[in-house]
Each structure stands twice: as structure tokens, then as C-alpha cells.
């Protein structure tokens, strides 16, 4: 999450790393100027500070951050606000959200197997109970389809290093408008995307800069068979 302080943690600071740089920058609470400069460096040249400043929180947003009106705060790497859990999904909890969907899907499959096993063993007995079980199985099947689609969708987002907000509102995000639809500007390759998603430390946030025109051209070029064999896509 973003607060009025540019970065915060238990000891008053958050380690901010810049993608493509070997250095790590430890930004204290009071050093707002350093945070502003760092955020502007992440956006395309010529971006004004007014453009990247949240009108609600009055804090400079790095790329991929967005203000959530439900939570009334800015969220790093904003994905969506989950009405079922009552929290924003973004940096720090997106991985746990994926595992939550996975566990719910596995639970639905296991419950469906139990229902079917019961119906096979007791189909000729109390018919009223069988009707209720069949109705429950139909409801469970609908829930399972929804969960499977949600799991597949978020798995796709993880592999391409995208968020739900970026995918749906791409043409409304200023720094993504000029990038072609099939180009994933923040993708580092499937394996590195998975590693960043699953193994990222909660005390470190890596600011992801926008790719240059040459990098975008390289990302938009289709992979050849040789590049697949040499794992260039990873």
C-alpha cells in the first residue's frame, strides 16, 4: 500500500529497488523529494508531477499503482478490489489470493467427487434426498466453473506479469495507451515472472520502469523456434 509517506515498514523504511539496476535505495519516511524524483524517472520522459500525483491521497504514484475508492488508499501494483474478501488485491497479497482461488477450486472438486460417490451408492433409496443432492451438485458445478475460469485468468496474468486493471483499462492508463495490445511491457519472461510473483519478499518492492522503444520492439517480435528452444521466452 502507499501512504502519505513514500515508503514505510516496521522500522520506518521500505527497501525500494529499481528494475534493471543493481543498487537498492532505502528511502526514509521524510525523504519525499527522493521518492518524487524516483517515481518521475519510472514514467515516460516529459511526464508532469501533476499527472502522477493521486488527487485523493496527494501522493506520487509509481507505474502500476492506483487509488482504490473502496479502501480509500493507493495500492501498489493494483489488481482489483475483491468484494468477497473486502480487501484490495495487489502487491503483497496477489500470490496469497491466487492460492486462495486454487484451494477453493480444489475444495469444490473434492466436494463434487463426494457428492457423485454418494449418489452412485444411494441413487435408488430416498429420492427426495437425491433431488436435494443433485441440486447441490448443480450449484457446486456452477461455482466450480467460475472458480476454474478465475484461476486460469489469474494464472495468465501471472505468466505475463499483468494485472486485471491493466488488462481491462489498458486504453485508459496514460503510459500504456501507446503500447500495442499483444505486448506485455512489464513481462520479464515466464520463469522470471513466476519467480517474482511467488518468491518476492514483502519488505522489498521493485519499481518496474516502462520499457524503451527498442525494448518494446523486441517484445513485440514473435519468438522463433530456436528462441523457444533456448528459452528466450523464459
Grid coordinates of 190:
515466464
- pLDDT at 228 (0 to 100): 57
Q: Where are the domains of the chain?
A: 13-92+201-215, 95-157
State mean pLDDT over 75-82: 92
Q: Which of 210, 204, 164 is nearest to 186 (CA)?
A: 210
| pLDDT of 184 higher than 80 | yes
pLDDT of residue 94: 92
Strands 204-207 and 13-18: parallel
Where does the pLDDT of residue 5 fall: very low under 50, low under 70, confident under 90, or very high at 90 and above? Answer: very low
Higher pLDDT, 116 or 232: 116
- The pLDDT score that the predictor gives to residue 6 is 40
pLDDT at 109 over 70: yes
As annotated, the active-site residues are 82
Grid cell in block for residue 100 = 486462495
Q: pLDDT, tens digit, for every residue of 138-183?
A: 999 999 999 999 999 999 999 999 999 999 998 888 888 888 888 8
Is 21 or 165 the better-scoring residue by pLDDT?
165
7 pLDDT higher than 80: no
Instruction: Quote the pTM value.
Output: 0.79
Strand segments, DSSP code E, in the chain are 13-18, 24-28, 66-68, 73-75, 80-82, 87-89, 204-207
Binned at pLDDT 50, 70 and 90, residue 232 comes out as low
Residue 39: all three cell numbers together: 517515481
Q: 35 or 70: whose pLDDT is higher?
A: 70
| Helix H or strand E segment including 106 | helix 94-122
At residue 96, does pLDDT exceed 50? yes
Mean pLDDT score of the chain: 78
**pLDDT greater at residue 224 or residue 72:** 72
C-alpha cell at 14: 521500505
Confidence of residue 9 (pLDDT cuts 50, 70, 90): very low
What pLDDT, on a 0 to 100 scale, did the predictor assign at position 32?
A: 60
pLDDT in tens, 189-229: 888 889 888 887 666 777 777 777 777 777 777 766 665 55
Among 43, 53, 78, 23, residue whose Cα is nearest residue 185: 43
Amino acid at each position: 500500500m502507499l501512504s502519505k509517506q513514500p515508503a514505510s515498514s516496521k522500522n520506518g523504511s521500505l527497501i525500494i529497488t529499481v528494475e534493471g539496476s543493481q543498487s537498492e535505495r532505502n528511502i526514509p519516511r521524510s525523504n519525499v523529494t527522493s521518492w518524487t524524483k524516483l517515481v518521475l524517472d519510472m514514467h515516460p520522459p516529459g511526464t508532469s508531477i501533476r499527472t502522477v500525483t493521486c488527487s485523493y491521497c496527494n501522493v506520487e504514484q509509481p507505474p502500476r499503482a492506483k487509488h482504490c475508492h473502496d479502501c480509500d488508499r493507493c495500492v501498489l501494483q493494483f489488481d482489483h478490489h475483491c468484494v468477497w474478501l473486502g480487501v484490495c488485491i495487489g502487491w503483497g497479497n496477489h500470490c496469497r489470493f491466487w492460492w486462495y482461488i486454487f484451494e477453493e477450486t480444489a475444495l469444490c472438486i473434492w466436494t463434487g467427487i463426494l457428492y457423485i460417490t454418494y449418489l452412485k451408492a444411494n441413487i435408488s433409496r430416498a429420492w427426495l434426498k437425491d433431488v436435494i443432492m443433485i441440486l447441490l451438485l448443480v450449484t457446486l458445478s456452477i461455482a466450480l466453473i467460475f472458480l476454474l475460469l478465475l484461476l486460469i485468468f489469474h494464472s495468465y496474468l501471472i505468466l505475463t506479469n499483468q494485472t486485471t486493471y491493466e488488462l481491462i483499462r489498458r486504453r485508459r492508463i496514460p503510459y500504456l495507451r501507446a503500447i500495442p495490445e499483444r505486448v506485455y511491457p512489464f513481462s520479464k519472461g515466464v520463469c522470471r515472472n513466476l519467480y517474482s510473483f511467488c518468491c518476492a519478499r514483502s519488505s522489498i518492492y521493485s519499481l518496474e520502469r516502462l520499457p524503451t522503444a527498442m525494448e518494446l520492439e523486441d517484445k513485440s517480435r514473435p519468438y522463433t523456434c530456436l528462441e523457444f528452444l533456448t528459452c528466450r521466452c523464459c
